[in-house]
Amino acid sequence: MVRKGVGLLAASVCAAFLGVAVLWSQASLGTAQAFAVLGATTVTNTGPSVIEGELGVSPGSAVTGFPPGIVVGGTIHTSDAVADLAQADATNQYNVLEALPCTTNLTGQDLGGQILTPGVYCFDTSAQLTGPLILDAQGNFAAQFIFQIGSTLTTASAATAQVINGGNRCGVFWQVGSSATLGTSTSFVGNILALASVTLTTGAIVTGGRLFALTGAVTLDSNSINFSTCAAPVPALPPWGIYVLGSFLALAGWATLRRRQALIPNP
């Protein structure tokens, strides 16, 4: 009976952790997560861009502008097995993001000036960012902000996007139905998965994120792309999960004590 009870509690704890893992896996890039930049046809650069992570192209093989651009903490992959698999994983994740149910439709609204909480936000056609966008994680490190954009994503010069209140910047995903263009000196956050191309104009930066062009080119101009600020999610149990875990540990300790007592001969 004791063993059965312990087993049930163990199953409950495992289920709680599994639930958190499933939630996080809704937006998981697989092998593509090692890439800061991944294009399909070409990756071209002008100026002293800094890419922190892997850089690659697949199925194309043209990478130009490195140097003067530099790759830190990674290498350049041109249509090799690593880039091929990463492109497949990125495409798979694009499809997963596109299929998620929309929780808020923002069609026709400017993202600039908005404060958004975790959720799935959709645009039937294009989306634009002309000012500051604040993504409030509300103290949840595993919070995800997913944007489904029917056609283009564009930002104005000096536009900004940031995650506040304990969130993970790598938990932001932009699924773009055609091409994404970040304006001059834009400070952006999150992973851009564009069906066609990704273009960063002069001085635009992306922190806690990556650039994926699934059928077209990635074009850079004196940019910084850095996902090294991303930390692995730490599964957090809900209050009932903490109670179950505590009960399991207490019962396991009690069962161990009883077994030891049974082995001690009576005087």
For residue range 188-209, list pLDDT tens digits in order. 999 999 999 999 999 999 998 9
Domains of the chain: total: 1
Residue 27 lies in a domain: no
Residue 261 lies in a domain: no
Residue 3 lies in a domain: no
- Answer yes or no: are the C-beta atoms of 72 and 248 closer than 8 Å: no
Model confidence at 170, pLDDT cuts 50, 70, 90, reads confident
Q: Which residues pair with 149 in a beta bridge?
A: 123, 176
Residue 251 has what pLDDT? Answer: 72
Say yes or no to pLDDT of 230 above 80: no
Beta strands in 114-262 (DSSP E): 115-116, 119-123, 127-129, 132-136, 145-149, 153-155, 160-164, 172-176, 180-182, 187-189, 191-194, 198-200, 205-207, 211-213, 218-221, 224-226
Q: Are strands 104-105 and 127-129 parallel, antiparallel or unpaired?
A: unpaired
**For the segment 232-255, what is each residue's pLDDT rounded down to a tens digit?**
444 444 454 555 556 656 676 666
Extract the tokens encoding 133.
């966008």
Residue 139 lies in a domain: yes
Say yes or no to pLDDT of 18 above 70: no
What is the overall mean pLDDT for the chain?
Answer: 85
Residue 79 lies in a domain: yes
CA pair distance 58, 207, nearest whole angstrom: 23
DSSP alpha helices (H): ranges in the chain?
2-25, 81-99, 239-263
Q: For a pLDDT cut of 70, what percent of the chain falls above it?
A: 75
Q: Angle CA(66)–CA(72)–CA(75) in degrees, nearest 5?
A: 65
Residue 111 lies in a domain: yes
Say yes or no to pLDDT of 65 above 60: yes
- Neighbour-count burial for 39-66, b at 16+ CB within 10 Å, e otherwise: bbbbbbbeeebbbbbbbbbbebeebebb
Say yes or no to pLDDT of 31 above 60: yes
Residue 17 lies in a domain: no
Residue 265 lies in a domain: no
Cis before 48? omega within 30 = no
Range of the domain at 99: 34-226
Say yes or no to pLDDT of 160 above 80: yes
Residue 13 has what pLDDT? Answer: 41
**For the segment 90-141, what is each residue's pLDDT rounded down to a tens digit?**
999 999 999 999 999 999 999 999 999 999 999 999 999 999 999 999 999 9
Task: Please list, in sequence order, all residues whose beta carbon lies within 8 angstroms of the beta carbon of residue 95, skipping any fewer than 6 positions away.
Answer: none
